[in-house]
Amino acid sequence: MLKIYNTLSGKKEEFVPIDKNGKNVNMYVCGITSYDEVHLGHARCYVVFDVIRRYLGYKGYAVKYIQNFTDIDDKIINRSNELQITSNDLAEKYINDYFTQMRKLNVLDADAYPKVTEKIPEIIEFIKKIIDTGYGYVAEGDVYFSVRKFKDYGKLSKRNVDDLKSGARILPGENKNDPLDFALWKKTKEGEPYWDSPWGKGRPGWHIECSAMSLGEFGFNTFDIHGGGHDLIFPHHENEIAQSEAALGRPFVKYWIHNGFVTINKEKMSKSLGNFFTLREIYKKYDPMIVRYMLLSQHYRQPLDFSENKLEQAKNAYQRIVNAVRKTDGIKDDISAEQKFIDCLDDDFNTPQALAIIHNLIDKNNLKTLLKLCDIIGLIVDIKTEIPDTIKKLTKQREQARKDKNWHLADEIREKIKKEGFEIEDTKLGPKINKL
């Protein structure tokens, strides 16, 4: 029985899909705001939800997985103005970067990727609904949501409206009635892209897009799983609940799943600290599968403190599995190991324990099970290494140097090969080339 920790109830709950036939599962995860390269924080979120999606598939559910792209917002507009390119060109560039880097991590593509700029009519319709039910109001070209009218506000983040009130301010240029209210539609400012609406020219607020796009994909029905990073619980997901339930008059989502923060050497990741590790940079030194392994070596709800040391540990552990796959050719099934593995993942997707089960299989002549378990969590280990001709040539040169007892040259060539990502292992049968 699969149990999932639901942020809404604050408990692990048995997973029961909304679908009466118990077959279909609808799942939505907040996507990136595409104004910069994807980093380790993104990798963690999308690898976590990739494992959840794969595992639900393994359990026999038909998962419809939707992830949006926020392709218009303040950061995108500011950045595109700086670079003097259109906000659309900037967003497309980083959407492409997202796909390149995530596919390397073996993150499966979603079934659909709605983009804000392509869903404006749907978003406008959704805002109209909120105004019609009395929860939204128009103020000089802006549209706001009345937080106080929604009695359940704070139920996800466990916050109290009166506590929030003391910290809230109305900023210059905002026309809201209450500092707690948030924008559904923002009146256009000079030099910004805009769309026509019943309230004048403008663009959607951030929160409304996820409600309109997720419900739009799922036929305006309550759906099973909504996911995202822990930092999205408040205000983003709290606001999504408020506006969606105000419009629908019924629950928005059954299970809320949030992954923990990524810190770097115990500090929160931020550009100002200069520790903003993009995946592109990390891949220069580490195979993406090592990065995936590292991300799964921590339970998804725990914070993950990233360090080079952690990547090195992941590299060794991952290499241990890969080496086992290369050396062993056992075909025996190990059903009890598979059951233990399932028990781990059934317990709120406990990937660190699941990885331990995989390690226990090493040297036990049951490669078939090992490969199967790795595949369930999307870890590619069955790598038939292609040795490039240049490396083969260097290896021959090194052999010659060794025969000539020119140890200095042999070492030099060994280093050269290492720089290309391969290592020579001298065996009784001659040199063996391993990928690092």
Closest separation in Å from C-beta 194 to Zn ion: 22
Closest separation in Å from C-beta 38 to Zn ion: 16
Alpha-carbon gap, residue 436 to 417, rounded angstroms: 10
The label of the residue with tokens 């993950």 reads: 304
Closest separation in Å from C-beta 149 to Zn ion: 22
Which among 22-30, 290-298, 355-363, 414-422 is the span making contact with Zn ion, rule CB under 5 A?
A: 22-30
Q: Which of 70, 25, 23, 52 is nearest to 253 (CA)?
A: 25
Nearer of residues 30 and 424 to Zn ion, judged by Cβ: 30
Closest separation in Å from C-beta 246 to Zn ion: 17
Closest separation in Å from C-beta 390 to Zn ion: 47
Locate 324 and state its tokens. Answer: 């086992």
Closest separation in Å from C-beta 121 to Zn ion: 19
Closest separation in Å from C-beta 21 to Zn ion: 28
Nearer of residues 30 and 76 to Zn ion, judged by Cβ: 30
Q: Which of 377, 295, 294 is nearest to 338 (CA)?
A: 377
Tell which one of 210, 264, 314, 394 touches Zn ion (CB under 5 A): 210
Nearer of residues 122 and 346 to Zn ion, judged by Cβ: 122
Check if the beta carbon of residue 248 is closer than 8 Å to that of residue 215.
yes
Number of residues that bind Zn ion (CB under 5 A): 2
Which among 204-212, 260-268, 337-345, 393-401 is the span making contact with Zn ion, rule CB under 5 A?
A: 204-212
Alpha-carbon gap, residue 432 to 392, rounded angstroms: 10
Alpha-carbon gap, residue 342 to 245, rounded angstroms: 35
DSSP category for residue 328: -
Closest separation in Å from C-beta 236 to Zn ion: 6
Which among 55-63, 134-142, 203-211, 298-306 is the span making contact with Zn ion, rule CB under 5 A?
A: 203-211
Residue 72's CB: how many other CB atoms inside 10 A?
26
Nearer of residues 52 and 264 to Zn ion, judged by Cβ: 52
Q: Which helix (H) or strand (E) holds 63?
A: strand 62-67
Nearer of residues 114 and 378 to Zn ion, judged by Cβ: 114
Nearer of residues 210 and 376 to Zn ion, judged by Cβ: 210
Show contacts with Zn ion in window 107-126 (CB under 5 A): none
Closest separation in Å from C-beta 227 to Zn ion: 10
Which among 167-175, 207-215, 305-313, 319-327 is the span making contact with Zn ion, rule CB under 5 A?
A: 207-215
Which among 11-19, 24-32, 168-176, 375-383 is the span making contact with Zn ion, rule CB under 5 A?
A: 24-32
DSSP category for residue 177: S
Residues 353-375 as b or e (16 or more Cβ within 10 Å = b) = ebbebbeebbeeebbebbbbbbe
3-state helix, strand, coil in the chain (%, to 5): 45, 20, 35
List the x/- string, 303-332, binding to Zn ion by CB under 5 A: ------------------------------
Which among 139-147, 181-189, 206-214, 298-306 is the span making contact with Zn ion, rule CB under 5 A?
A: 206-214
Nearer of residues 30 and 291 to Zn ion, judged by Cβ: 30
Alpha-carbon gap, residue 342 to 365, rounded angstroms: 20
Alpha-carbon gap, residue 167 to 101, rounded angstroms: 39
Rounded to 5 degrees, φ, ψ at 305 are -95, 110
Nearer of residues 68 and 197 to Zn ion, judged by Cβ: 68
Does residue 30 belong to the site contacting Zn ion (CB under 5 A)?
yes
Which among 23-31, 170-178, 295-303, 398-406 is the span making contact with Zn ion, rule CB under 5 A?
A: 23-31
Nearer of residues 129 and 226 to Zn ion, judged by Cβ: 226
Write out the E strands in 222-269. 223-229, 253-259, 262-264, 267-268
Show contacts with Zn ion in window 40-79 (CB under 5 A): none
Check if the beta carbon of residue 80 is closer than 8 Å to that of residue 87.
yes
Q: What is the DSSP string of 263-317?
A: EETTEE--GGGT---BHHHHHHHS-HHHHHHHHHTS-TTS-EEE-HHHHHHHHHH
Nearer of residues 214 and 366 to Zn ion, judged by Cβ: 214
Which spans of this chain sit near Zn ion (rule: CB under 5 A)? 30, 210
